[in-house]
Copies of this chain bind each other. A is one copy, B any other.
Amino acid sequence: MTALSRRQQNKIERERRILEAALKVFSEMGYSGANMDAVALEANLSKPTLYQYFQSKEALFSAMMLGERDQMLAVFERPSDRGMVADLLEFSWDYADTVLRPDLLSLARLIIGEVQRFPEIGRAYQEVGPDRLLRGIMDYLEDQRRTGRLAFDDAELAAQDLWGLILSAPRTQALYMPDRSPSRAEIARYLNNGLKVFLKAYSTQPETDLAELARLIGAQSLNQVQHDA
């Protein structure tokens, strides 16, 4: 049932390759620093062909950015239900693994670096990245409040706190120092501590939840050791 001719398939595949190449080149060099020959080379095609797909450098840049943005919409669907603490821990790791991925960090650097020239792009990403994520966290935290496991007035602030506690430090560091990307152990350190503080401040049963967290962390690092062995 592929209603697509070979020609159309090729077109789609080529466009995908161009956008992929554009992401790589623009991420590495910035918008002004990048050149279209490099994109064409990276995409394994000629410059005239490239210009048949995208009318200009700016058009390519915008298309690439919006495409990447739409891919982000796919990530971050709400997780399982193995208890709040386990959920939070799992979620934190998912988020860390995403947000610290080298390609997404490069993209973030590109956006931040070009945001004065392309302000719409900054907003577009704020909406689908941070804002959407925050919504997800807020919804989850609200649920936990309704069942009496958390206590807070302002769900948005609580969600911001969670994010700030677990990932602001390693992410900021990674943004400024692409070479020193934090190890699993470092991430675990920030993450475990962040959750601890979050539970201390927001849980209705801090002792129980902290004990649970400690148990889960212990089990995890045990797993880690087994894997390493």
| Residue ranges of A at the interface with B (Cβ–Cβ < 8 Å) | 27-33, 106, 109-117, 119, 122-123, 125-126, 130, 154, 157, 160-161, 163-165, 168-169, 172-173, 175-179, 189-190, 193-194, 196-197, 200-202
- Copies held by the complex: 2
Contact assessment for B165 and A112 in the assembled complex, using a CB-CB cutoff below 8 Å: no
Contact assessment for B117 and A176 in the assembled complex, using a CB-CB cutoff below 8 Å: no
Please give me the 10 A-B residue pairs with the lowest Cβ-Cβ distance, nearest first: A113-B113, A168-B168, A32-B32, A164-B164, A32-B33, A164-B168, A200-B201, A160-B169, A197-B201, A122-B176
Contact assessment for A160 and B190 in the assembled complex, using a CB-CB cutoff below 8 Å: yes
Taking a contact as CB atoms closer than 8 A, the residue among B30, B115, B168 that contacts A114 in the complex is B30
The residues of B that contact A126 with a CB separation of less than 8 Å are 173, 176-177
Given contacts A122-B177, A130-B172, A154-B193, 13 further A-B contacts (CB under 8 A): A27-B116, A30-B30, A30-B31, A30-B113, A30-B117, A110-B113, A113-B113, A125-B176, A157-B193, A164-B164, A164-B194, A168-B168, A200-B201
Contact assessment for A112 and B115 in the assembled complex, using a CB-CB cutoff below 8 Å: no
* Nearest CB on B from A84, distance (A): 17
The residues of B that contact A169 with a CB separation of less than 8 Å are 160, 163-164
Contact assessment for A176 and B33 in the assembled complex, using a CB-CB cutoff below 8 Å: no
Please report the C-alpha to C-alpha distance between residue A175 and residue B33 in the assembled complex, in whole angstroms. Answer: 21
Contact assessment for B165 and A122 in the assembled complex, using a CB-CB cutoff below 8 Å: no
